[in-house]
């Protein structure tokens, strides 16, 4: 069974929209990404650009299907702004659990995060995110806080090389037995816009 009922829109179609929103000064602006553990995204910040890390995930494990999407963006370096948008769903695909949702989590749109929690290296070879964020679980009808850890890494050879991302989520209300951690992307991007 392929990715579920949520149609895949692709990351590249979402990033221009986020950039337009940021350029207009409406809504949240950006998050942090990490490549080298101590290199903050700031080399482009004074020029007014935005750095984004995005990925789509899909996995089937032990009769459970996991789908996730994450977009983290950053503008203005250490003194700037950062944002995150996340969806994460786990549901049954066989046996008695077929069609049963274990979790259907989302940030309910783009939310601000501390800029210090998103890092990237200046060459956009690697990025990482380690933050806590409030999500709404459609299945439980309740809000909860989860820890989101993600990494992006580009194959050696330049910005035109593919990016692989991993995502790990945890939270006190989440049962680890139903989660696939870490999950690896089937599509990922690291981009930087110029003002």
Q: Within a domain: residue 102?
A: yes
pLDDT at 76: 77
Closest CA to 169 of 97, 35, 32, 67: 67
Q: Within a domain: residue 195?
A: no
Residue for token digits 């895949």?
A: 8
Q: Within a domain: residue 61?
A: yes
Domain span holding position 31: 11-190
Read off the tokens for 38. Answer: 């101590």
Instruction: Name the residue with higher pLDDT: 49 or 17.
Output: 49
Q: Within a domain: residue 50?
A: yes
Tell whether the model's pLDDT for residue 16 goes beyond 50: no
Number of structural domains in the chain? 1
pTM attached to this predicted model = 0.71
Read off the tokens for 191. Answer: 């981009």
Q: Within a domain: residue 77?
A: yes
Q: Within a domain: residue 122?
A: yes
Query: How far from the centroid of its chain's Cα atoms is residue 172's Cα?
Result: 20
Read off the tokens for 137. Answer: 């679980």
Instruction: Name the residue with higher pLDDT: 23 or 67.
Output: 67
Q: What is the pLDDT of residues 134-174, one digit of tens each?
A: 999 998 899 999 999 999 999 876 677 889 999 999 998 88
Sign of CA dihedral 108, 111, 114, 116: positive
Q: What is the pLDDT of residues 29-80, one digit of tens each?
A: 333 333 333 233 333 333 457 899 999 999 988 888 999 999 999 987 667 8
Q: Quick check: 51 and 191 in contact, CB under 8 A?
A: yes
Measure the CA–CA gap between 146 and 76, rounded to whole angstroms: 26
Q: What is the DSSP letter of 98?
A: B
Measure the CA–CA gap between 93 and 104, rounded to whole angstroms: 15
Read off the tokens for 87. Answer: 């969806």
pLDDT at 130: 97
- pLDDT tier, 132 (very low <50, low <70, confident <90, very high otherwise): very high
Measure the CA–CA gap between 122 and 183, rounded to whole angstroms: 25
Q: Within a domain: residue 143?
A: yes
Q: Within a domain: residue 2?
A: no
Q: What is the pLDDT of residues 89-127, one digit of tens each?
A: 998 888 777 778 888 999 999 999 999 999 888 788 899
pLDDT at 95: 78
pLDDT at 113: 95
Measure the CA–CA gap between 98 and 115, rounded to whole angstroms: 40
Tell whether the model's pLDDT for residue 2 goes beyond 70: no
């Amino acid at each position: 069974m392929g990715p579920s009922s949520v149609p895949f829109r692709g990351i590249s179609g979402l990033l221009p929209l986020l950039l337009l929103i940021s350029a207009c000064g409406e809504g949240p602006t950006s998050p942090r990404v990490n490549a080298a553990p101590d290199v903050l995204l700031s080399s482009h910040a004074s020029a007014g650009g935005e750095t984004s890390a995005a990925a789509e995930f899909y996995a089937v494990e032990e009769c459970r299907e996991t789908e996730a999407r994450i977009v983290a963006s950053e503008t203005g370096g250490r003194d700037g702004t950062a944002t995150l948008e996340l969806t994460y769903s786990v549901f049954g695909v066989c046996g008695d659990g077929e069609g049963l949702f274990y979790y259907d989590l989302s940030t309910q749109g783009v939310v601000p995060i501390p800029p210090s929690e998103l890092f990237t290296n200046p060459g956009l070879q690697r990025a990482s995110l380690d933050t806590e964020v409030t999500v709404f679980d459609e299945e439980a009808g309740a809000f909860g806080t989860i820890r989101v850890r993600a990494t992006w890494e580009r194959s050696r050879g330049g910005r035109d090389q593919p990016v692989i991302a991993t995502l790990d989520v945890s939270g006190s209300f989440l049962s680890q037995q139903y989660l696939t951690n870490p999950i690896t992307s089937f599509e990922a991007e690291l981009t930087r816009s110029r003002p």
